[in-house]
Copies of this chain bind each other. A is one copy, B any other.
């Protein structure tokens, strides 16, 4: 049985939910698969907008249940429901635009090509830390449904009730409730990955979790694409020319946002070896306060992580909140040479509100160390002198998917240009994003038609282009 827990008290509450049996997983996948042909033919933009409206209409109940399960608070959770709704609206816009179909016509060879939804069900493993935006109502679900693929979600055990409630709200706006399946439990997740009707998997979670899913996929008679977002330390480089104003408070705010439970949390900050600056970072973190983590397991992972970091110098520790599963923010410090010696182990992600401040004497020594970091979702530069920033920016560009200037990595805008991905382990598929308009590309694949009769062509590839989609003709 899966029990909901209140991170503020550590106590379980509500009716437990049974782990899904193999037969239940199979039934969910097969019902979703059976619903696929009608969904591919449906007016999907309108349905996606109806889902967005349904999420907004149910925000009270959604945030309340999620807050009890996650302790993330009203403001954040209301904002996250709005974000989830906006993701569905963005994909309605993407579908109306039609560019994602990538219709290409080569007249001389009489070959026409366009993207179609993968012919089956997308399996989604939801994340703990965004009970809406990276969970049942999240970007993987929204982009897969938009592409034309039914979805079966493996719920995260840290918010089973929110998952059930979200699924119900989304289903109320779907033409067929079978288009969104929901299963619970580790065994159900394994079964999902190995079901022959599942054609791709999206995952947001740990590196070991991602490796386990890849191993299950490799065992399938027909391996399938796997889009995993696994881990990221998100280096921030403060260059000598950086404005000091607001730096320490910005760092502490980004570090402790959502108790540090962001995949874009700033886990490494490189700063000039300047005692005042380092002290100001420490003071800001010392003045911060932790709160509850999402689950006992995540809290234990954080405590293990900071214990691993205890061999570094503890720069500061914030207050530990009152909640049962609360933790204290912690920031450690080390100099660049010692840090470089400790790579790669020293830079392993510690999920939660901890960070390492790495001090350097000469900014010219940074690039060779930055290039040795594992892949990250983001990398940030603080500077006012662009020439000073250039070598560092070039090094970081090779190790991260998104580069940020004089900002902080937490916060990922849902927009056309967003790229939320990066080299391993940030992503298992660094050409793809899990946030923004291009996320739909994970769930489509091209078909080329050669000498194909117009009557059998998809309308998007006909010469008369009845749907008016963007076509690239003869280059």
Chain A residues near B (Cβ < 8 Å)? 93, 97, 99, 102, 104-106, 108-109, 111-113, 116, 118-119, 214, 218, 221-225, 344, 374-375, 386, 389-390, 393, 397-398, 400-407, 413, 415-419, 421, 423-425, 428-431, 433, 437-438, 441, 444-453, 455-456, 472, 474-475
Known contacts A402-B447, A431-B444, A455 near B417 by CB under 8 Å: no
Q: Are A456 and B417 in contact (CB under 8 A)?
A: no
Taken together as a complex, chains A and B put the C-alpha atoms of A449 and B225 apart, in Å, by 27
Interchain Cβ contacts under 8 Å between A and B, 24 examples? A104-B437, A111-B415, A111-B417, A113-B418, A116-B397, A119-B397, A218-B218, A221-B344, A222-B375, A222-B423, A223-B424, A225-B430, A225-B431, A389-B456, A401-B445, A403-B452, A404-B450, A405-B450, A405-B456, A419-B446, A419-B447, A419-B448, A430-B445, A431-B444
User: How many whole Å from A215's CB to the nearest CB in chain B?
Assistant: 8
* B403 x A450 contact (CB < 8 A): yes
Contact partners of A424 in chain B: CB under 8 A:
222-224
Contacts of A375 in B (CB 8 A): 222
Q: What distance in Å separates the Cβ of A455 from its nearest Cβ neighbour in chain B? A: 5
User: Is the Cβ of A109 less than 8 Å from the Cβ of B451?
Assistant: no
A419 partner residues in chain B, CB cutoff 8 A:
113, 446-448
Distance in Å from the Cβ of A38 to the closest Cβ of chain B?
14
Cross-interface CB contact of A93 among B221, B416, B456, B475, cutoff 8 Å: B475
Given contacts A113-B419, A406-B451, A433-B446, list 4 more A-B pairs with CB under 8 A: A105-B417, A221-B344, A416-B474, A421-B446
Which residues of the other chain, B, contact A397 by a CB distance below 8 angstroms?
116, 119, 447
A475 to B100, CA, bound (A): 12
Do A448 and B386 touch (CB < 8 A)?
A: no
Instruction: With CB as the reference atom, state the residue of chain B lying closest to A413.
Output: B109
Residues of B within 8 A of A474 (CB): 416
CB distance from A389 to the nearest CB of B (A): 6
**Is B223 touching A417 in the complex (CB atoms < 8 A)?**
no
Q: Are A446 and B108 in contact (CB under 8 A)?
A: no
Q: Is the CB of B405 within 8 A of A106?
A: no
Q: In the complex, what distance in Å separates the CA atom of A456 from the CA atom of B418? A: 18
Q: Which of A109, A446, A448 is the most central at the interface, judged by chain B CB atoms within 10 Å of its CB? A: A448
* Complex contact A405–B218 (CB within 8 A): no
A433: chain B residues within 8 A (beta carbon): 446
B445 and A431 contacting across the interface, CB-CB below 8 Å: yes
Query: Is there an interface contact between B453 and A106, defined as CB atoms closer than 8 Å?
Result: no
Cα separation A406 to B449 with both chains bound (whole Å): 12
Q: Chain B contacts of A93 at CB under 8 A?
A: 475
* A416 contacts across to B, CB distance below 8 A: 104, 106, 472, 474-475
Residues of B within 8 A of A400 (CB): 447
CB pair A390–B222 under 8 Å, yes or no, is: no
Chain B contacts of A225 at CB under 8 A?
Answer: 429-431
- Find out whether the CB atom of B452 lies under 8 angstroms from the CB atom of A405: yes
Specify which chain B residues have a CB less than 8 angstroms from the CB of A425 in the assembled complex. Answer: 222
CB pair A448–B111 under 8 Å, yes or no, is: no
Q: Cβ of B386 and Cβ of A455 under 8 Å apart?
A: yes
In the complex, the chain B residue whose C-beta lies closest to that of A390 is: B456
Indicate if the CB atoms of A109 and B222 lie closer than 8 Å: no
In the bound complex, CA of A413 to CA of B400 (Å): 36
B407 in contact with A450 (CB, 8 Å): yes
Minimum Cβ distance to chain B for residue A258 (Å)? 19
Chain B residues whose CB sits within 8 angstroms of the CB of A418 once the complex forms:
106, 109, 111, 113, 448
The complex places the Cα of A371 from the Cα of B98 at a distance, in Å, of: 28
Shortest Cβ distance from A425 into B: residue = B222
Specify which of B111, B417, B444 is in contact with A113 (CB 8 Å cutoff). Answer: B417
A344 and B196 alpha carbons, distance in the complex (Å): 14
Closest 5 CB pairs of A and B: A109-B413, A419-B448, A106-B415, A106-B417, A119-B398
Tell me, in angstroms, the Cα distance from A225 to B431 when the chains sit together. Answer: 9
Q: In the complex the two chains form, what is the Cα distance from A218 to B217 in whole Å?
A: 12
Q: Which residues of B contact A393 (CB under 8 A)?
A: 456
CB-CB under 8 A for A214 and B218, given A104-B416, A418-B448: yes
Most buried by B among A375, A419, A444, A455: A419
